Amino acid sequence: MVSEKESKMEIKEFLKSKIPEVEKNIENFIPRTSTKKWIESALGKTIFELDLEAYNKGVNEPIWELLDRGGKRFRPIMTCLVAEAVGGKFEEAMKLAPMVEIIHNGCVEENTIVWMANGTPKKMKDVQIGEYVLSVDKHGRLKERRVMHKHDNGVKKVLAVKTNNRTVSATEEHPFLTVGKTCPENGSVGAGFKWVRIKNLKKGDVLVITESACANTVTLQTDNVQFQKIKQISAPQLGFVEVREVIEEANPVQTYDIEVEETHSYIANGIVVHNTLMQDDVEDDSQARRGKLCTHKVYGVDTAVNTGTIMYFWPMVKILTDEFKLGDEKRLQIYDIFIRELLRVCSGQAWDIAWHHGGFTPNEAQYLNM
């Protein structure tokens, strides 16, 4: 149960204190390295020959490569709190709560200026889910795109990439849009643009930026700093600037990242950068997740889709084998809830995909229903 000391903690402090317990229990469901005993607990006795090395490569390795990137783990913790609130025991709920995390399953400095779709600047820490930011599509065109998620990634060491007139600080894995020294004539991202992690940027590399000269602007004041407010975007919309240096900042800073609908990029201090779970990333064609390349970019789409699917089912093995002695009636209730919620998850994703593929804009009630 939650102790008296824990009940007096700030919620963020309490959630953080429970992360080690959650992660230890996750390994009870999916070990870092598969064993014959673990596989046969679900698949049954091996009839011919079991290739453990290949199974590790296709299942355990990509799952833990994703999980080890971190996360707040608040879903299983909140599951335990709800269980205790309705008369259950926190410790008992924790045995099953990691299922929620497994099934569900880079950043920039907080004062970085993000350009909003209405042309105004806003600090990263103040950007909210549902707001619209300026983004760059695969053809190098500026677009207005909605912020779908925001991640508080905590205090981290960051690198600063500096040009002659701007600086952006980000964690080492954060991708920046670059272009070859000779600009592609058609301006297509696929024709010369590429994403490069900040740690791999070097002096002389060319970054893609937004130019105020590309728009009608007015000057405005925010936090004693003057900015140009974009009134109307016009072509050409993008510019280019060389990296002068990349250095490690002296002190760790609070960092955040946002996930942007469809185009997955945003404008940070005038420089185009990329935003950062496995099948969701494939369906959205995301490039990065929590500051690293998405699983499908590391292991391939086939592995990501299959492993993302198997993550739905491995947590159920302990119910299948009745490890917790729940009995047939309770296990049947869990199966019913699990199947219904998976259908709801996949249906919600279907709506999301249809909206961003078909150009539909859902109303508030439709979005909440999704």
What is the residue extent of each domain of the chain?
A: 4-105+300-369, 108-276
The CATH code belonging to domain 108-276 is 2.170.16.10
Please compute the mean of the pLDDT values over residues 122-134 and round it to a whole number.
Answer: 89
For residue 188, name the pLDDT band (cuts at 50, 70, 90).
very low
For residue 180, name the pLDDT band (cuts at 50, 70, 90).
low
Residue 87: is its pLDDT beyond 80?
A: yes
Q: What is the pLDDT of residue 279?
A: 46
Residue 47: is its pLDDT beyond 80?
A: yes
Q: What is the pLDDT of residue 286?
A: 54
- Residue-wise DSSP of 61-84: HHHHHHHTT----HHHHHHHHHHH
Burial of 221 (C-beta count, 10 Å sphere; 0-12/13-18/19+):
exposed
- Please give the model's pTM, rounded to 2 decimal places: 0.45
For the chain, give the percent of residues with pLDDT over 70: 75
Q: What is the pLDDT of residues 149-163, one digit of tens each?
A: 787 777 888 899 998
Residue 220: is its pLDDT beyond 50?
A: no
Q: Collapsing DSSP states into helix, strand and coil, what is residue 212? A: helix
Residue 214: is its pLDDT beyond 60?
A: no
For the chain, the average pLDDT equals: 75
The DSSP secondary-structure symbol of 30 reads: S
Q: What is the pLDDT of residues 247-298, one digit of tens each?
A: 988 888 888 888 888 777 888 877 787 664 444 444 445 555 555 556 656 6
More confident residue, 206 or 355: 206
For the chain, give the percent of residues with pLDDT over 90: 4
Please compute the mean of the pLDDT values over residues 169-183 and round it to a whole number.
Answer: 74
Q: What is the pLDDT of residue 296?
A: 55
Q: What is the pLDDT of residues 223-245, one digit of tens each?
A: 343 434 434 433 335 677 889 99
Burial of 49 (C-beta count, 10 Å sphere; 0-12/13-18/19+):
exposed
Q: What is the pLDDT of residue 287?
A: 53
In 3D space, the residue among 39, 21, 24, 27 whose CA is nearest the CA of residue 310 turns out to be: 39
Whether the Cβ atoms of residue 200 and residue 170 lie closer than 8 Å to each other = no
Q: Phi/psi of residue 308, each to 5°?
A: -60, -35
The stretches of the chain forming alpha helices (DSSP H) are: 4-7, 11-29, 36-43, 52-55, 61-67, 74-85, 90-96, 98-104, 278-284, 295-298, 301-313, 317-320, 328-358, 364-369
